[in-house]
Amino acid sequence: MTSAYADSNDELQQDVTIPVQRPADDLEPGTRAVIYLRVSSSGQVKTDYNAEGISIPAQREACLRKARDLGVTVIDEYVEPGRSALEMTKREAFQRMLARVRSHEDVDVIIVYQLSRMARNRYDDAIVMADLRKGGVTLVSATEAIDDTPVGQLMHGILATFNEYQSRQSGADIAYKMGQKARNGGTLGRAPLGYLNHIDHSDGRVIRTIIVDPQRAPLVKLAFQLYATGDYSLDELADELYDRGLRTRPTTRHPAKKVSINKLSQMLRDRYYLGYVDYQGEQIRGRHQPLIDEELFDQVQDVLDSRATAQERRRVHHHYLKGSVYCGYCRRAGRTQRLAIQRTVNRHGHEYLYFFCRNKRNDLCPSPHIHVYQVEEAIERHYASIRFHPEFIADVGAHIDTVINEQEAAARLLHKQTTSQLRELDTKEDNVIDLAADGTLPQTKVKAKLRDIERERRHLTQRLDTASADLTDSARLIQAALTLLEAPDKLYRRCNDQQRRLLNQAIFHGLYIEDDQVTDHDLHDPFGPLHALQRQHVPAPTSATTTRSPRGRSKRATRPASGSSTSGVALLLKGIHTGQGSNNNPKVEVPGIEPGSSVASTGLLRAQFAVPLLGPTGHANKPV
């Protein structure tokens, strides 16, 4: 058991000065008393026209009556409005009272309304009582029979134990009720920005619920809409919302103010605005009205994830290539350095953006400043170099079908064999049960045989469940990669800035720039292995590639084993399925994706639905 009181700093307590309200020098020792009054929540002092509420005056009256009965004089009182019994070190009046007992030595009796007003922890109670006894101070309750007599001390111990039990029981009861409220879709605590806590008085009931804040809710929804465009950093979004009138809700301590960047970031991640409440990590459909839909929320998450993936600092300048472009000069020197972005304004007020290598400042890199437009055009041109040839796409597609068909055939055969074995076990089990009914076998042998049969059945059932290593997702990923890069340069030109960001992060681990050219790149999986296969690829033979054997029979041209796309695709499928990938592509946990999946795979599947479709209009379509 731990004690908040035991962790307090005694030296700090001794430095506290106590203003004495009534002179105690003329009073005889043994007759000097102080009273300690406390309520455990600030709401209890706001229940009456009296500034102290109802509870504190009632406690004071009972304590003064007890003082008269004891024949002692109250020389001071210590009032604690709204302090929890579990936070003794934060109860300022309580600490001042103890410091006075230690330093002034002018207190003989402390009167409390109830023992629970002082402590609800047996350990804290014991330490406080040891302090008081050391100073010769008696603790008296106005409503309970506790004093320095043996019977009074026995009652004190019983009440301390009961108060601790009651405190813990009340806490457990409140936690249970809060859990039930959350599981029913209720909101615990203060409503997030855009909503208001509301008390509904209907049908004779008092129901605490959540309503939409008519003033702030439209601006919260606007925050999601603006950020989903990809045109705003968090700094810029906070300024824009402030200019449009979004403020935090004022409290007694803090006035309304601008929404901070951290608060804004948390808000954009909060699924509460989709209509869910979070309780102990579980997402539960709430009873409050959603402010946004799933599509808008997902678009915002894509923007947040893409900027987090690029490790981009968006404090001053932002660009869709930040985080994806690296210095080619440093690459050749054996270093890895991202290109930063710099803004310059000429004497006519025109703004220019340049990419530059930070190592240039240390004279470690000779690379020049490169205009942003030159880098953009270089990457557009570079996309033509990563396209997959139609023959390769068709050949890989055929091999994927072959691998999947072979897997399915093997799985069907294993399923058939396992099912047959399970039927045999059922027959064997029936025979053992029949023998047991006839009394032919001893009960011990019957139980042992039945346990063996059940153990084998579990093994076969588990084998049946895991008979097929599902390569379907891997095949879909490869086919999506092939489709995406069938005409990548045309696709890239049709994308908006946010879609280009997604494509770059899905395909490239890094693009290396020298002057105004892309000199190298690192590809994410599965693009890297697929390009390696394409370099080894031998097209499927056609009529033009057939040869004649000496006996005049037609014979297909053979394919070198080292360049076999068939084996390469099969290995690639299995490598992606088992989570093995390029060493250049670290595995991380991605929300919504199974552990160990790569950022590239996630980005590819997202980019597949986020980029515009190629069509005859010549305009970029709206992202899905």
Question: Distances in Å between the alpha carbon of 339 and those of 331, 355, 584?
Answer: 12, 6, 19
CB 185 within 8 A of CB 276: no
- Measure the N-to-C terminal CA separation of the chain; round to a whole number of Å: 57
Distance CA 582, CA 32 (A): 81
3-state secondary structure labels for all residues of 34-47 = EEEEEECCHHHHCC
Three-state secondary-structure class, residue 302:
helix
Distance CA 372, CA 339 (A): 11
Phi, psi of 618 (to 5 degrees): 80, 10
Three-state secondary-structure class, residue 598:
strand
β 73-81/32-39 pair status: parallel
Cβ contacts of residue 523 below 8 Å, gap of 6+?
386, 507, 508, 509, 531, 582
Cβ contacts of residue 316 below 8 Å, gap of 6+?
343
CB 139 within 8 A of CB 57: no
Query: Is 324 part of the annotated catalytic residue set?
Result: no
Distance CA 502, CA 305 (A): 10
CA angle 474, 480, 481 (to 5 degrees): 90
Active-site residue, selected from the candidate residues 3, 40, 116, 601: 40
Q: How many residues does the structure list for the chain? A: 624
Phi, psi of 13 (to 5 degrees): -65, -35
Catalytic residue numbers, as ranges: 40
